[in-house]
Chain A
Amino acid sequence: MKIFVVIPAWNEAKRIRQVLQSLISLPYEVVVVDDASTDETAEIVREFPVYLLRHRLNRDQGAALQTGNDFALSHGADVIVHFDADGQFLVEEIKDLAQPVIDGVCDVVFGSRFLEKKSKMPWFKKNIMFPIARLVNRILLGIKLTDPQSGFRVLSRQVAEAIIIEQDGKAHCSEIAAKVFEHKFKVKEVPMTVIYHEFGQGLSGGIKIVKDLIFSKLLK
C-alpha cells in the first residue's frame, strides 16, 4: 500500500524542517510542493529524501495540493494524505486518519478539531469564525462536517482521481468536501489536534473564501 503525504509549502523555512524530520522515519512517500517560496524552503526540503515539486509562480494552496495529487497518482499512490508544512498538525496522527481509508471502511477521512477537545483554538475562531464557516458550507454547498475548513484529510486513490481541485486559493477545503459529498463517497471524520502558532486566516481570509465559492457557483 503506497501512502503519499502531500505538503503544500509557501515560505515555510522556519517550520518545515521539523515537519520533515518527524516524517522521514515513517513509511510514507513525502511530496513537498513549494509554491514559489521566496525564502529558504526549497533548500531545506532538498536536505531530505523527499520529492520536491516547485511552482515557478505562486498559485496558492489549492493549486499546490492538486499538483501533489497529480504527482502522487502518477507514481502509483493508493492513499493520499494532505498535510500542512507549518507544523500545526501532528505527524503521529496521520496513521489515525489514514487507517479507515487503508482498511476500506471509508473513501475519505477529514480531520476535525471539534470532535475532541484536543486543540487550543483562539476564542474568535472557535466561537465566531467556525460556526459561520459551518453554516455557509452547509447552506451553500450542503457539506455536513463538524470542521469543513480542516486541511488535514486522507483520500483514497479513487477519490483523488475523481476530484480535481479547481479552487487555487483557500476555498479548496470547501470545494473538496462539496465534491466528496456530490460523488457520494463514504466519509468519516476523525479527531485531530492543531497546534496554533499564530492566528492563521483572519476574517478577511474567510470573506475571500466565501467570495471565491460564490463566484465559482456563478461561473459553473
Chain B
Amino acid sequence: MIFLQSVVTLFIIVILFKLFRQRQSGKLSLGAFIFWFILWLLVAVVFWQPETTSYMANRLGIGRGADLAVYLSILAIFYLLFRIFVRLNKIDAEITKVVRKDAIKNVEKK
C-alpha cells in the first residue's frame, strides 16, 4: 500500500506543481486554482487516510467510504461533462457567427 500511496503522492505533487505554474503564467483563474488545489489535496488525504471517507460516508448516511467516493466522482464527472458541452455549444455558435460575417463580407455576384 505504501508503494501505491507514494506513487499517487508523487503524481499529485507533479500536478500541484503544474497548477502553480499555470496560475503564475495567468492561464488559470484564482477560483479554478483553489478548486483544483483543494481537490488534489483531498485525493492525497484519502489515499493516506482512507478511513476519513468512511467517517464522512457515515455522517452522510452512506454505508462505505468507497461508495461515497464513487458517488462524488460520478457527480463530478457529470458536472464536468455538462460544462464541456455548454462550452462546446458556445464555441460552435461563435464559429458560425465568424463564418457568417466572412461570407456576407465577401459576397460575389456576376
A residues with a Cβ closer than 8 A to B are 33, 46-57, 59, 63, 66-67, 70-71, 74, 166, 168, 215, 219
CB distance from B98 to the nearest CB of A (A): 9
* 57-110 of chain B: CB within 8 A of chain A: 85-86, 89, 92-93, 95-96, 99-100, 102-104, 106-110
Determine the chain A residues whose CB is within 8 A of the CB of B92 once the complex forms.
168
B interface residues (Cβ-Cβ under 8 A, vs A): 85-86, 89, 92-93, 95-96, 99-100, 102-104, 106-110
Of all A-B residue pairs in the complex, the 7 with the closest CB atoms, nearest first, are A53-B103, A52-B108, A67-B100, A63-B96, A59-B96, A55-B99, A49-B110
Closest B-chain residue to A57, C-beta based? B99
What is the CA–CA distance of A33 and B106 in the complex, to the nearest angstrom?
A: 12
Residues of chain B within 8 A (CB-CB) of A71 are 104, 107
Complex partner residue of B99 from A48, A49, A63, A74, CB under 8 angstroms = A63
With contacts A53-B104, A215-B85 known, what are 13 further pairs, Cβ within 8 A?
A46-B110, A47-B110, A50-B109, A51-B107, A53-B107, A54-B108, A55-B99, A56-B103, A59-B95, A63-B96, A66-B100, A70-B104, A166-B93
Residues of A with C-beta under 8 A to B93: 166, 168
Task: For B100, list chain A residues within 8 Å (CB).
Answer: 55, 59, 63, 66-67, 70
Report Cα–Cα, A48/B37, bound state, in Å: 62
Q: Can you pick out 10 interface pairs between chain A and chain B where the beta carbons lie within 8 Å of each other?
A: A46-B108, A50-B110, A53-B104, A55-B99, A55-B103, A57-B99, A67-B99, A71-B107, A168-B96, A215-B85
Q: Are B109 and A49 in contact (CB under 8 A)?
A: yes
Instruction: Determine which residue in B86, B89, B103, B107 has the highest number of CB atoms from chain A within 10 A of its CB, and name it.
Output: B103
Instruction: Kindly list chain A residues whose C-beta atoms are within 8 Å of the C-beta of B107.
Output: 51-53, 71
Query: Once bound together, how far apart are the Cα atoms of A67 and B100, in whole Å?
Result: 6
By a CB distance below 8 angstroms, the chain B residues around A66 are: 96, 100
- CB pair B99–A56 under 8 Å, yes or no, is yes
Q: Are A67 and B109 in contact (CB under 8 A)?
A: no
Would A54 and B103 be within 8 Å (CB), given that A46-B110, A48-B110, A49-B109 are in contact? yes
Chain B contacts for A48, CB-based, 8 A: 110
Contact B89 A219 (CB under 8 A): yes
A52–B96 CA distance with the chains assembled, in angstroms: 17
Among residues of A, the one whose C-beta sits closest to the C-beta of B109 is A51
Residues of A within 8 A of B99 (CB): 55-57, 59, 63, 67
B108 partner residues in chain A, CB cutoff 8 A? 46, 51-54
Residue of A nearest to B106 (CB): A54
B95 cross-chain contacts in A, Cβ below 8 A? 57, 59
Which residues of the partner chain A approach B110 to less than 8 Å between Cβ atoms? 46-50
Which residue of the partner chain A has the closest CB to B104? A71
Give every chain B residue within 8 A of A46 (Cβ-Cβ).
108, 110
Collect the chain B residues with CB atoms within 8 Å of residue A47's CB. Answer: 110
In Å, the complex CA distance between A57 and B109 comes to 20
Interface-centre pick from B85, B86, B104, B106 (highest chain A CB count, 10 A): B104
